[in-house]
Amino acid sequence: MVGLADRSGYMTDRIGACFSVEDRSRKNGLAGDLGRPDVDNPPDRFIADTSGWMMVQGIYNARGGERYVQIGNFQLCDRTSRKAVTANRGDGTLRNMKRKGDADLDPDRARGLRRRLLATQAYVYLDAVSLEPIAAQDAVRTLSQEDACAKDPGRPQETDDLVPDPGFDRTIPAHSSSWKNATGGTPDFEEGRTGIYLYSAVNADHREYIETPLKERLDPCGRYAVRLRILRKESYAFAVDRIGVALAEGFENDRRRGLLSQPLRWELMDAGVMDDTEEWTTLCGSFEGGGCADRLLVGNFSSDASTTIIQHDPSDGPFAYYFVDDVSLWRTGTIQGCTTTCPEERPGSALP
């Protein structure tokens, strides 16, 4: 629980928590956590109440061995929002001047100094800090091939596949590839496969996504099947249980590294952590309707809080990194009674 201190001159929306194996109370012990809170208060949710308490909560996926928690503002100055409690204009100017005068003339010099300092700070009180387990590590299961794709339909005929290069066979040179980076990440486009990270321990909710145009726009009345294969790279420390396929119309890369909010049509969810580093795992699913989408995107569209994350060797790379291959999408039927149609196709929206 947090509350804004009376006489605090500013309010902020930033407070969070970091967890560690070692004690970081020594000088500069928290420097490595700046910009990387494990749990953080959402932006624009300002701590503004001086007479009550506000709850800040979140979910932390433990890596194992943590014994300490640090609480504070872990965001850098240019990522921290603050507002004056009393704006320095109109009647607020007089109130601020009176408050400053009261602090300057306070007969208790120590109290006056504290009040002057408070007027320059966003100072909050903490209470009722708690941490409760919501799942045990031994309850996390590993994804099996049966759960990933009980009845593998196999790759469709090339003429039926709406993905122009399902096997990433034409990604080199990059300028001639139909597959592109969909965000500000740096996917590794290799011949025959592509590598992306589905979780980052460096920055909360950072992801990599890849996207490709489809051979034709989807039919809102269509039934579709999706299939892909994944393999976790062993030299990275983390494994997760989420990957999905989103479909978009007229997608444009905005170069951010955060979560994409595209219409998700299929997602591996609650089936187990993708942890196999030796054999490829085939994922498959189906969905009805895809709007009038002309782009397909692959990645983890779920937040860190909604993703099951396990850590292996802490000395390995700080990502859940996976190879992706054989991404296919094809039509399997039509929704009975559906009459929805797409507007006239825009030039260049899909592959000819």
Contacts of 115 (CB under 8 A, 6+ apart): 7, 99, 102, 103, 106
Residues 292 and 169 in one domain: yes
Residues in the chain: 352
Residues 143 and 121 in one domain: no
Residues 21 and 57 in one domain: yes
Tell me, what's the pLDDT at 7? Answer: 81
Residues 117 and 149 in one domain: no
Is residue 351, in this structure, part of any structural domain at all?
A: no
CA 95, 100, 101: angle at the middle one, nearest 5? 100
Q: Distance (Å, rounded) from C-alpha 194 to C-alpha 217? A: 24
Q: What is the pTM for the complete model shown? A: 0.66
Is residue 164, in this structure, part of any structural domain at all?
A: yes
Residues 29 and 115 in one domain: yes
Is residue 247, in this structure, part of any structural domain at all?
A: yes
Is residue 346, in this structure, part of any structural domain at all?
A: no
Is residue 341, in this structure, part of any structural domain at all?
A: no
Most confident of 3-7, 20-24, 82-86, 224-228: 224-228
Cis, bond preceding 318 (omega within 30 deg of 0): no
Q: Distance (Å, rounded) from C-alpha 275 to C-alpha 140? A: 11
Helix (H) or strand (E) holding 181: strand 180-181
Q: Which residues are registered as beta bridge partners of 142? A: 273
Residues 208 and 243 in one domain: yes
What is the tally of structural domains in the chain? 2
Tell me, what's the pLDDT at 346? Answer: 54
Half-sphere exposure of 232 (CA within 13 A, CB side): 25
79, 95, 126 — which closes off a domain? Answer: 126
pLDDT digits (tens, 9 = 90+) for 141-189: 899 999 999 999 999 999 999 999 999 998 777 777 899 998 988 899 9
Residues 162 and 283 in one domain: yes
Is residue 322, in this structure, part of any structural domain at all?
A: yes
| Structure tokens belonging to residue 286 | 């189906």
pLDDT digits (tens, 9 = 90+) for 233-288: 999 999 999 999 999 988 888 788 888 888 788 999 879 999 999 999 999 999 99
Is residue 347, in this structure, part of any structural domain at all?
A: no
Residues 286 and 322 in one domain: yes
Is residue 185, in this structure, part of any structural domain at all?
A: yes
93, 126, 159 — which closes off a domain? Answer: 126
Residue 212: domain span: 139-334
Residues 156 and 270 in one domain: yes
